[in-house]
Structure formats: C-alpha cells, structure tokens
Amino acid sequence: MSRTGARERWRRRAERPLETSAAIQKDMAQTMSKTILVTGSSGLIGSEAVEHFDRKGHQVHGIDNNMRQEFFGAPGDTTWNLDRLRRSTKSFTHHHLDIRDRVALETLFRAQSFDLIVHCAAQPSHDKARDIPILDFEVNALGTVNLLEATRLHCPEAVFVFLSTNKVYGDAPNEIPLKELETRWEYARPEDYDGIDENCRIDRTLHSLFGASKASADLMAQEYGRYFGMKIGVFRGGCLTGPSHSGVELHGFLSYLVKVALSGAAYTVFGYKGKQVRDNIHSYDVVRAIEEFEASPRPGQVYNLGGGRENSISMLEAIAKIEHIIGKKLNWNYVDENRKGDHICYISNLARFRSHYPNWSVTISLDEILRQIIGNQRDRLPAQNAGGSKRV
C-alpha cells in the first residue's frame, strides 16, 4: 500500500464516530509501517537492521545468498543467523538472491516497492579481494550499481543507505604524523585527536582491490544522490562489529579474536608492533545512524561512521582486555611485517554525522561490545571451526 493511500484510509476511518480505539491503533500502525529492503540480511549489519526495523513494525525484505560462506568457507556460513532471524521476527521475508543478478533484482523491484533500502551485501575483506578480483568487483561495485539503478527505476523516492568503508581512503590516513605510546600508535598533532574526517582524499593512495571496488561503489552511490537527486547516504565504516558477526580470519577483527581466544587456537599479529588502532562500533549504533538518516536524508552525503575515540583500541590492548574478561591467556605470536596498505591508526571523526543528526550517539561501549561477542561465541563455539591467525 502506498503511504498516501494508507494515510487517506486512516483519515477516513478516524472520522467514523463508532470506530473502536483498537481498530484505530491498528490502522495507525499500518499507516506508519514502511517496506524496507536489506541486502546482506544474514550478515552482521544486515541482520541487525532486519531485527531493528521488524521490531518497529515495518515489513522487512532481506536479500542474502550466503556468499560469505563462498568467500570464507564453513566459518563464514551465515545460515545460523538467518535461522535466528526467522525465529525472532514477525514480518520478515527472505529472498535467496544474488545482487549481481540484475534480472532477479528487476523482478523483485517490480513486485514490491520500497521506502528504504539498506545495502550491506558485499565481499567485505581487504585481503580476500586479492584472490578474487573479478568476483570482488562484481559484488561490490556492479552489485551496488544494480541496486541503485533498480531503485532509480522503480522507487526513486526511497531512501538508500550504502555501507561503504574507511578503506576508500586507502593508506592516506597513514600520512598523518604519529607518536608511539606504550601500547598504541597515537596522532601526534592535537588537531588530529578526533580522527579522520571525510576530507581525507580517496585517490592517489594504495587501497587494496577491496578498497578500490568499494570506492567505485561509493562514488556511484554519491553520484546517484547528487546527479539524480536521490536520497542516498554513504556511510564509510570503521570496524563494525557485534555478536551477529560470523567472524573469520580475513574479516571481523574482534569477533575472530574472541573466537580464537575461547578455542585456545593460535593468533598471529602482523606488523606495527601490534600497536595498530581501530575504532569499533556496535551494529546497533550503525542501524540507529541509518534510521536517523532515513528520517531526514541528505542526498549524496558521505559520513565516516565508527566507534570514535572512546571505542578505539589497539591490537595489544584488545588482547589484554579479552584475556582479562575471559580469564585466560591468548596464544598469540607476532610477525614483523604489516599487511600491505594497512592503517596504522584509524579513528573515525564523527563530527559531521553528529552535527547533522544530533539525536544520534555511540551508545554501546567497547567493554559491552566485547561482553556481547564473548557471550555469543561461547554459545556457538562447538559448532564452529575456529583456529589460525588474523590480520586486522
């Protein structure tokens, strides 16, 4: 039902004198209900978005073909999360569909109009892209254009949020002067204290193929916002995390670190003396940011989105913190070679998002994030195939 049609129906019903309050409430709920499409709905951010918008009474459609398993093998299998969503939601429809498949997308968009599209499906790993450059580009760049174009043709008034990444900046953030502290690298100049903002350049840097495919999608999403005036927001994520991550060696830093710590397997830290810094944001706070943008969209706008300084942590600090929480030493070793193009110290500057959306804030602390991940991993550990090393 269109929103205008629903509003008119609600007005007519409300005018009838004998209407019961229960019926009116039901109609109000229908009036407010939106139809939302979430891609990558079995993944970390996608599943959080599905649950959140379902709880709010919206009709939620999810697209996911469990390609995370194809990228990362059995530990990347997201079936457990889809099963969980099926149990926990009221109005969720799952579509086992590939975002590279333009015809299938066309069929879906012809059958169903959407008010909000949350695009999370991706090949998400920096390192993995090196082995599968064509597949990485097809999923990340072309898959995004397929969705943008389907939206333009079938529901151009919809709000569209694209989950981009801080890897679009390539290694440019490493040019900022740093000082070495006991357990972490730190920005040397006071003006850099709050981290990297959206003015950081995205070209003439080393991205990794993943960073380049996401930068292509990031630019196309901006273009659909600016050129066509569509309500598109681009969120460049720091480390997005939470208990619903199917953490694997090549993606999902905290989730995988916890998995290895609990299983007793070995963990390898690569380069920068283990003092590399990441800012971590819980998937709930990401979805809250999407919700704020949806309520008041700014076409073509770009935002850095991470946990900010308060939720930043270095590799050494993360190991110590996890050891403390689980009461057990982690079996880890160090290789003195950093990953190509890896960030040394990356903290998302959240000033732009905060100024445009003052109702939003980071609500879940790093300690709470870790507690939730540990609780979830403890429950799931027997079913998992943990082990190996991890590059952050």
Ligand X SMILES: NC(=O)c1ccc[n+]([C@@H]2O[C@H](COP(=O)([O-])OP(=O)(O)OC[C@H]3O[C@@H](n4cnc5c(N)ncnc54)[C@H](O)[C@@H]3O)[C@@H](O)[C@H]2O)c1
* Contacting residues toward ligand X, per CB under 6 A: 40, 42-46, 63-68, 78, 98-100, 120-122, 124, 139, 143, 163, 165, 237, 239-240, 245
Closer CB to ligand X, 46 or 297, in the complex? 46
Of 33 and 348, which has the nearer Cβ to ligand X?
348
Q: How far is CA 287 from CA 284, 291, 378, in A?
A: 5, 6, 25
- Structure tokens given for 177: 């002067």
Q: In the bound complex, what is the minimum distance in angstroms from residue 252's beta carbon to ligand X?
A: 6
In the complex, which residue's CB is closest to ligand X? 43
- The three-class DSSP label of residue 216 is helix
Residues 6+ apart with CB under 8 A from 184: 275, 277, 313, 314, 316, 317, 345
Residue whose CB is less far from ligand X, 3 or 321: 321
What is the nearest approach in angstroms of ligand X to the Cβ of residue 122? 3
Q: Name the nearest CA neighbour of 248 among 390, 117, 65.
A: 390
Q: How far is the CB of 184 from ligand X (least distance, A)?
A: 19
Task: Give 23's Cβ-side CA count (13 Å radius).
Answer: 12
* Shortest spacing between CB 388 and ligand X, in angstroms: 18
CA distance 233 to 302: 6
Query: What is each CA distance from 344 to 86, 170, 187, 350, in whole angstroms?
Result: 40, 12, 10, 19
Reduce the DSSP state of residue 325 to 3 states and report it. Answer: helix
CA gap 322, 201 in Å, rounded: 34
Tokens of 310: 């308060």
Question: What spatial distance separates the first Cα and last Cα of the chain, rounded to whole Å?
Answer: 45
Residue 124 CB, nearest distance to ligand X (Å)?
Answer: 4
Instruction: Between 63 and 386, name the residue whose CB sits nearer to ligand X.
Output: 63
27 vs 249 by CB, closer to ligand X: 249
Q: Which is nearer to ligand X, 155 or 305 (CB)?
A: 305
| Minimum CB distance to ligand X, residue 194 (Å) | 19
Q: Which amino acid is located at 251 in the chain?
A: H
User: By C-beta, is 28 or 104 nearer to ligand X?
Assistant: 104
Closest approach, Cβ 286 to ligand X, in A, equals 8
* Choice between 65 and 174, CB closer to ligand X: 65
Smallest gap from residue 278 Cβ to ligand X (A): 9
For residue 135 the two structure tokens come to 């597949």
SS3 117: strand
- In the complex with ligand X, the residue whose CB is nearer, 146 or 174, is 146
Least Å distance, CB 135 to ligand X, is 9
What are the backbone dihedrals phi and psi of residue 354, each rounded to the nearest 5 degrees, phi first?
-60, -35
Distances in Å between the Cα of 220 and the Cα atoms of 111, 182, 199 are 25, 42, 18
> Considering the complex, what minimum distance in angstroms separates the CB of residue 326 from ligand X?
22
- Which residue carries 């057990």 as its tokens? 328
Residue with Cβ nearer ligand X (67 or 230): 67
Assign 25 to helix, strand or coil: helix
For residue 93, what are the β-bridge partners? 61
Residues 6+ apart with CB under 8 A from 170: 202, 205, 206, 207, 208, 211, 341
